[in-house]
Each structure stands twice: as structure tokens, then as C-alpha cells.
Amino acid sequence: MQTGPQPADFADVRATNLAVVLRHVRAHGPVSRAGIAAATGLNKATVSSLVADLIDRRLLRETGLAENRIGRPATMLVLDGSAYAAIGIEVTGDHLTAVAVDLAGEQLLSWRRAFTASFEPGRGVSAIASLAGRAASRATAQGRQVLGLTVGVPGLVDETGAVRRADALGWSDVDLRGDLIKALRKPEYDVAVDNDANLAALAEQRYGNHSGARNLIYLTGETGLGAGLIVDGRLLRGGRGFTGEIGRIQLHGGTLQELAGIESLIQRALPDADADGPITDFAPEIARLTTAARAAAPRTLDALRDVGRHLGHALSLLTNLLNPETIVLGGYFVPLATWLIPAAQAEMATHTLAPDAGGAILVPSVLGSGAAAIGGAARVLDALDTGNLPALAV
Amino acid sequence: MQTGPQPADFADVRATNLAVVLRHVRAHGPVSRAGIAAATGLNKATVSSLVADLIDRRLLRETGLAENRIGRPATMLVLDGSAYAAIGIEVTGDHLTAVAVDLAGEQLLSWRRAFTASFEPGRGVSAIASLAGRAASRATAQGRQVLGLTVGVPGLVDETGAVRRADALGWSDVDLRGDLIKALRKPEYDVAVDNDANLAALAEQRYGNHSGARNLIYLTGETGLGAGLIVDGRLLRGGRGFTGEIGRIQLHGGTLQELAGIESLIQRALPDADADGPITDFAPEIARLTTAARAAAPRTLDALRDVGRHLGHALSLLTNLLNPETIVLGGYFVPLATWLIPAAQAEMATHTLAPDAGGAILVPSVLGSGAAAIGGAARVLDALDTGNLPALAV
DNA sequence: CTACTTTGTTTAGTCACCAGACGAACTAAC
DNA sequence: GTTAGTTCGTCTGGTGACTAAACAAAGTAG
């Protein structure tokens, strides 16, 4: 039970146990009521009552199938993904990604469109709201109730959902959550705004190769460099909500953003990088970079090794401070992981304990470029896992 | 309510609400039953029942005093510290500190004795057990029930209470908790072992000048250099429990331990420091150091400024990653804080956001040298605050 | 067809909380 | 001094959620 100042009552017991059953079914495939009772320690009668409630809420479904052992056959229960949807939107300097996910983890839609932050937040907010509105309409048209929307932004987001500072977008002090709620005309679903690295970490925890890890760090490799920190099973937020600002940390030679950011990497790894003006679209540059790396171009390999070392140094700091089990590289680091990871691991090994004594393993993300968007949906679905169920449909 | 796999039942509701009442009385001085009900939202009848239970358990006490407002006078309730005691022991390279604290925060005893780790853990364990046993006897002789014992060790302690590695003691793989339980002949009270920085952070959170802070970092300045990290109200433990190993982090020029550890500071700040052999007792050296600093000896001031800068650099990393509100300097850093803090703050200011935008304030500890011992007792008492009450006395 | 096994529901009981009534104890005012 | 008003804390009855145990349901084994 929680340590909070709030007292508990029956509703809390019910919510907790509903969540226990829901999580158990999600984690342990098709199960019978009796199986749930045996595994959770709840009484059979209680499980029956809880399951009936969850079926009413269209969160569980009976599969007609019976098991073929001795005794009365069991009616198996599985997650019913079909009634609800959660929407996540990721904002970067050059595009928006929207995804909708159902409870069973099915991806209902995955949209990507160009986006220009353009130093004028008003239009940016309109574009985000428009995309969110269309995603919600699509989900509704498919007969699904939208449970919530989370927008991931590369920058500092405070606890009220306001963007205090987002260099990659040129924004500061934009009440994104408030403006979105206005633009969406007070939707009945939940609206939240969070840092992109935080959401990507949640996505990895729920859907990644190392899902369920209680200690996981996600390192974004988008325009900015940020970290989402999950320690002891919880996402760290800190005093103002500004955790994981790893790009800002000072190493010998500059900040990590300067030493190992994507822009710096491109400029050092590609001999003919455009010297004039900022890069507006990174994807083709990264493609050229991987080609050059595969061709073993010395300058490219040197730059990748160098960036890997700096990342490794920064990750050794994180490892000494937070003792994670898993570190996931995301964004543009994923296609480059083959070259970055060995250098980073070598650097980490010299400054931290060995993996068998509490060190961390370093892996590339398998979630693709929209990790933060998926994480936005995951944040919404996580609410169900903690007992915050949708009201009964009438 | 918790997200754990455990289902909830009535006992949990009761425990949660008992803890709510207990915490409220501890935080808000003498209160009446009606006052508790109004503040917590619990029903008056429920509060009466909870209070009766807590009085039976000798955790609360009625003060005969009545308030002088209109209406029926209230019978005020306060914490009853007299029935229980919690014991904390801090182990360092050269001494043991034992404290016993009651529920109301009264320090019942504070012992300090010499200790030699001597590369032979067996005798060290005996010495700790002997001290713990005598502290427990003393508390029992005063009519108090001992609720638990926590031993703080400068080093890596895993989740089972085994010391995996403690350089300052020359220990590795010592099952300290198991050995203590054996040596104390399976005491009926709870025995735990934890990292000294973790416990000191708990002590600051419960008893320090910034008590109640939800985001607080404690930096030890004993033989080793470690950090206790409290983020979002919880102490971070990480995958193996090895968080806060800040001495091990690599900065330009060496590890933080090498750059800003007490030994390094003494050797650089005192021109005539013993060059031969390790320093066995730091206290007199620190005293000489403060004298030299007050006399504005250039070499001393330079060394302090330098160490302050390195600490500031390391703390800027922590601040960017964890966004704490408060950072507390402990151990031998406390008498030197006057000279260390300005340099550290200047360094932090250049690498982090300004305090008004989410930065951290840096202060010396006010708890004295036995902070980890006090924290050991605090860990025991924290169990009460989360509903883990002692069984009813018969 | 009978015995056995396992599932899931039903019934009765307990426990903790809540709302509202009520007695207790005191102040204020006439 | 009596009466009204206020606040405190307890008491009573009611509700919701869990549990244990009995039981009906639906199969297998022989």
C-alpha cells in the first residue's frame, strides 16, 4: 500500500485487486479463474467477482476453449483489447509521430508527418491538436473508446504539462497541455505532456526486448540528447520533473550534447557535411553515415568510436549513480549501434563494476523511431495497471 | 495503493489508515480526534477506532489538556515515544557509532568507540554485534521494546544485507546481516544492513534541516565518498542496490574519490602531512585543516577551492540527472563547508539550470558525525510510518 | 454407471469504513 | 441560573469487499 497521505477505503481495495487480476492476465496469457486465484492468493469467489467486473468493463474476455486435463474444464480468460485505445504523439524538430495502441498491445495506427516548430508555438500546438483529434476520431470510428493522449516533447516539461524549455523546438514556457485541452475542446479523455525520453523509457519497459525490467535507462538520440530513468520500477521525475538532462552534463571537452549529439557526429563523421546552416533533416545524413561506416571509411569509424567513448563515459556516470540493469540506446543511435556500442562498452568497463557484479548491459532499441509516441500510449495504459479503470460503459 | 503483485484486503486498509493517523500526529503536533478526521478525510468514528488501536499499541498518548475554544474541549493526542526504541550503528574505518532513538525523535543513547576493521571481518562482526547487543540491553533496561537495528557500512551492500565490497574496511563478500543475526542469537527485532550514505540520506529526510524534502541528496565525506539519493520521496536502490557510488565516477584528472576525497584533500591542503603510511585518524587532521583555513593559508585555501570545484562538478552531474531540491554535505565536509560550498556552487551554476528554474541548494548537514547511525534508526522507524506496526503488547 | 477431480458459484460470516444520531462538556447570553 | 449554541467523541446501523466452506457443474477414469 502506498505511503501517501491519503487514507484507504474499500474502493481502493477493489481497485488494487482489479489491477492485480488485470496485470496477471496480461502477463500470464490465457488463465482460468481458478488459476488466477491460485497464483494471486485471492479467494476464488473474489476472483469471480473481479473477473465479472472486468468483463463488464470490456477489459477481459472469455475464450470458449477449455483445457483438456482431468476435472471440469476451465473457461479461459484473455485480455480484450478491442474496446479501448490510447494515443501517443511524439514531437521532434522536424516531424510528428502519432500512434494508437490498444490494451493488448496492438498498434491501431502509426502516422508520421512533417512538422516545423518554426519558433511560433501557436501553430505548432494547432498541428499537434489536429493530429491528435484525427487519431482520436479514427479510433472512435473503429468503435474504440479513447482513454487518453500523451504528447512527448524533447525538452523540460514541468509537472503541470507545460513545456518550460525545448531548444530543439525553439519553445519556452508553452502551456502545451492547457492549450491542447482548449484546442481539443475539453475532451473527455485524459491529456498529458511529458518529456520524450521519459516516455520512451516507459515504452521500453512495457514493450521492449527487456520489458519488465525494474531498472532501465533509455538514451534518446534525436535532435537533443536525453535520458529516461527507471529505477526500482518507477520513472524518476525529480523536484521539477527535470530529470535525465544528460545532454547538459559537462565532460572534459564540452557538454555531452556537443561531444556526442547527432549534429556533432554528422559533422565529424561525414567529410562533406553541409557547413552552411543547421541540418534540417537528419535521416538522409544518418543513412549516408551508415553507408560510410559499412565501407569502413576511416574518418567515419574514428568519429563513431569517439562518440561511443563519450557515450560510454556518460553512461558510466549513470551506472555508478543508479545501478541499472539495462541501458537502451534509441533514436538515431539505433542504426549506428553496431559501431557505437563496442567503444561505449569498453569505456564503461574501465569506470564501473563488471556486469556480473552489478554492471549494466547496453543494447539498441527495437521499437523504432516512434518510441516516445508508443511510450505516450503506454503511459495511458499504465494507469489501468495501477487500478485506474475506465468507468462502466452504459 | 501499491502497484505490487500483492492483492489488498482489510488488513491493508487498516494498516494504511493507522499509518495515516500516526504520521499526521507526528507531523502536526498535538491534535484532537476531530482534528485528525477533518485533516485526513477519515470519518470521526474511524479515527476514534484507529486512535484507540494506536493507544493500545502505546504509539499515541492522550494529553489531559483541553483547548480553550468554544464547545466541548478536545482531548489532545501526541506521539508516545516511551515504549519503543530503534537502534542504528555506523561503521567507519576507525570507529563505530551507535545511537538509539525513540519514536518521538529523542536520542536515548549515543556511543562512539574505536574500531579496527583489520582485514579480518570475523572480529569486526563480533565487535558490531557486541555493541548492538549492549545498546539493545540498555534500551530494554529502560523499559523500551527494541523495534529494529540497522547497520550502516561504507561500501556496496546488496539486497540481502551482505557487504559485497567495502574498501574502507578491507571487506568483501561478508554476510553481515546473517552473521549479526547469528551473533545476536536470532533477536526478535528486525536486523538490516545498508549503505552508510543511504542511511544518512534517510536521517536528513527525517531529522535534518530540510526534513520532508521529496528530493534530497546526501554526500558522505568519510573515508569513502558516497551519495544517498532520495528522488520523488523514495530512496533509490537500483538493480543490485549499488546506487550512489559517486566516488567511483571518472572526471577529468581521475575519479572523484581521488580528486575530492578526504585523504587527497588533507595531503594537498596541509604542507606537512605525513607522507609515510595511510592516515589512520582523520579527525585531528581535519581540525588542523580548519585552523589553517581560518588563518587563510594559501595552500589550504587553494586545495579547498579545488576540491569544492570538483565536488561542484560532480554535483552538477547529479543535478542534471536527478533534479534534486536539496544537496546535503556530510561527514568531514561539514566543518569545511564554509570554504567548499562557494566554489562548488560556482561550478554548479555554470553547468546546471539556475536554482529558480529547478536547480538545487547546497547545505552542510546539521546532524553531526553519526548521521548514518541516526539514519539506521530512522529506517526502522520509517517502517511504522508505512503501516508496519509492532504487534500488540500482551 | 459410479467414483473422482477440478471449476466456478452461492451462502453465510467477518471486518473496516461511513453517515448520522446522540450524549458529553463547555461557552455565551439573557 | 437557565437556555441556546457549539464542538467533541462515541454509538448504532448500514454497506461494500473479502473469505471459507458448501455445492452444483462438467468433465475423466475405470
Question: Residues near A299 by Cβ (< 8 Å), separated by ≥ 6?
Answer: A268, A269, A271
From the options 2.60.200.30, 3.30.420.40, 1.20.140.10, 3.40.50.620, give the CATH code of A209-366.
Answer: 3.30.420.40
Q: Which fold has domain A83-202+372-385?
A: Nucleotidyltransferase; domain 5 (3.30.420)
| Averaged pLDDT, A234-242 | 93
Pick from A1, A249, A385: CB nearest B8: A1
Q: What is the CATH number of domain B210-366?
A: 3.30.420.40
Better-predicted residue by pLDDT, A275 or A55: A55
Specify the pLDDT at position B226. Answer: 95
Specify the pLDDT at position A326. Answer: 95
Pick from A227, A242, A317: CB nearest B358: A242
| Averaged pLDDT, B210-220 | 93
Contact A322, B243 (CB under 8 A): yes
| Averaged pLDDT, A149-178 | 94
* CA A335 / C1′ D15 distance in Å: 60
Top-tier CATH class for A10-79? mainly alpha
Specify the pLDDT at position B342. Answer: 95
Question: Residues near A137 by Cβ (< 8 Å), separated by ≥ 6?
Answer: none
Pick from A5, A24, A243: CB nearest B323: A243
Q: Which residues of B46-58 are buried (b: 16+ CB within 10 A; e: fewer)?
A: bbebbbebbeebb
| Averaged pLDDT, B368-376 | 93
Asked whether the predicted pLDDT for residue B3 surpasses 50, the reply is: no
Asked whether the predicted pLDDT for residue A234 surpasses 50, the reply is: yes
Specify the pLDDT at position A1. Answer: 34
In chain C, which nucleotides are within 7 Å of a protein Cβ? Answer: 4-12, 15-21, 23-28
What would the pLDDT profile of B232-254 be if each residue is shown by its tens digit?
999 999 998 999 999 999 999 89
The secondary structure of chain B, three-state, reads: CCCCCCCCCHHHHHHHHHHHHHHHHHHCCCEEHHHHHHHHCCCHHHHHHHHHHHHHCCCEEEECCCCCCCCCCCCEEEECHHHEEEEEEEECCCEEEEEEECCCCCEEEEEEEECCCCCCHHHHHHHHHHHHHHHHHHHHHCCCEEEEEEEEECCEECCCCCEEEECCCCEEEECHHHHHHHHCCCCCCEEEEEEHHHHHHHHHHHHCCCCCCCCEEEECCCCCCCEEEEECCEECCCCCCCCCCHHHCEECCEEHHHHHCHHHHHHHHCCCCCCCCCCCCCHHHHHHHHHHHHCCCHHHHHHHHHHHHHHHHHHHHHHHHHCCCEEEECHHHCCCHHHHHHHHHHHHHHHCCCHHHCCCEEEECCCCCCHHHHHHHHHHHHHHHCCCCCCCCC
Closest by CA position to A205, among listed A227, A237, A234, A243: A234
Given this chain, do its domains B10-79 and B83-202+372-385 carry the same CATH topology? Answer: no
Asked whether the predicted pLDDT for residue A65 surpasses 70, the reply is: no
Asked whether the predicted pLDDT for residue B46 surpasses 70, the reply is: yes
Shortest distance between the Cα of B258 and any Cα of chain A, in A, equals 13
Which of B46, B321, B326, B356 to substitute to test the interface with A, most A CBs within 10 Å?
Answer: B321
Shortest distance between the Cα of A77 and any Cα of chain B, in A, equals 18
Asked whether the predicted pLDDT for residue B41 surpasses 80, the reply is: yes
Nearest CA in chain B to A3: B386
Q: Check B7 against A251: CB less than 8 A apart.
A: no
| Averaged pLDDT, B311-330 | 95
- Cβ-based contacts of A385 with chain B (< 8 Å): 3
What would the pLDDT profile of A40-60 be if each residue is shown by its tens digit?
999 999 999 999 999 999 999
Contact A148, A190 (CB under 8 A): yes
A120 pLDDT tier (thresholds 50, 70, 90): confident
Asked whether the predicted pLDDT for residue B357 surpasses 70, the reply is: no
Give the DSSP H or E segment for A108: strand A107-114
Q: Check B240 against A323: CB less than 8 A apart.
A: yes
Nearest CA in chain A to B47: A7
B275 pLDDT tier (thresholds 50, 70, 90): low
* CA A13 / C1′ D28 distance in Å: 39
Which residue's alpha carbon is at the shortest distance from the C1' of D16? A10
Q: Which three cell numbers stand for residue A47?
A: 476472483
Specify the pLDDT at position A2. Answer: 34
d(CA A238, CA A318): 15
- Cβ-based contacts of A20 with chain B (< 8 Å): 5-7
Question: What separation in angstroms does the CA of A283 have from each of A197, A263, A303, A337?
Answer: 19, 11, 18, 15
Nearest CA in chain A to B318: A321
Shortest distance between the Cα of A114 and any Cα of chain B, in A, equals 31
Q: In the predicted model, what is the mean pLDDT of chain A?
A: 90
Residue B97: beta bridge partners? Answer: B90, B112
For chain A, percent of residues with pLDDT exceeding 90: 74
Q: Which three cell numbers stand for residue A255?
A: 557538454
Q: Check B316 against A246: CB less than 8 A apart.
A: no
Of A43-52, A354-363, B217-226, B271-280, the poorest mean pLDDT is in B271-280
Q: Count CB pairs under 8 A between chains A and B.
A: 193
Which residue's alpha carbon is at the shortest distance from the C1' of D29? A70
Pick out residues whose CB falls under 7 Å from strand C.
Answer: A 7-10, 32-35, 44-45, 48, 51-52, 69-75; B 10-11, 13-14, 17, 41-46, 49-50, 66, 68, 70-73
What would the pLDDT profile of B158-206 be if each residue is shown by its tens digit?
999 999 999 889 998 999 999 999 999 989 999 999 999 999 999 999 9
* CA A48 / C1′ C9 distance in Å: 8
- Cβ-based contacts of B317 with chain A (< 8 Å): 249-250, 317, 321
B93 pLDDT tier (thresholds 50, 70, 90): confident
Residue ranges per structural domain of chain B: 10-79, 83-202+372-385, 210-366
What would the pLDDT profile of B16-30 be if each residue is shown by its tens digit?
999 999 999 999 979
Q: Check A23 against B7: CB less than 8 A apart.
A: no
Please identify which residue in the block is written with the cell numbers 545498508. Answer: B194
Q: Which three cell numbers stand for residue A347?
A: 569505456
Specify the pLDDT at position B65. Answer: 66
Q: Which three cell numbers stand for residue A93?
A: 524538430
* CA B65 / C1′ C28 distance in Å: 22
d(CA B91, CA B77): 37
d(CA A220, CA A309): 16
Of A40-44, B65-69, B260-264, the poorest mean pLDDT is in B65-69
* CA A26 / C1′ C22 distance in Å: 51
Better-predicted residue by pLDDT, A256 or B391: A256
Please identify which residue in the block is written with the cell numbers 561478508. Answer: B174
- Cβ-based contacts of B348 with chain A (< 8 Å): none
Q: Check B250 against A316: CB less than 8 A apart.
A: yes
Specify the pLDDT at position A81. Answer: 87
Contact A310, A295 (CB under 8 A): no
- Cβ-based contacts of A157 with chain B (< 8 Å): none
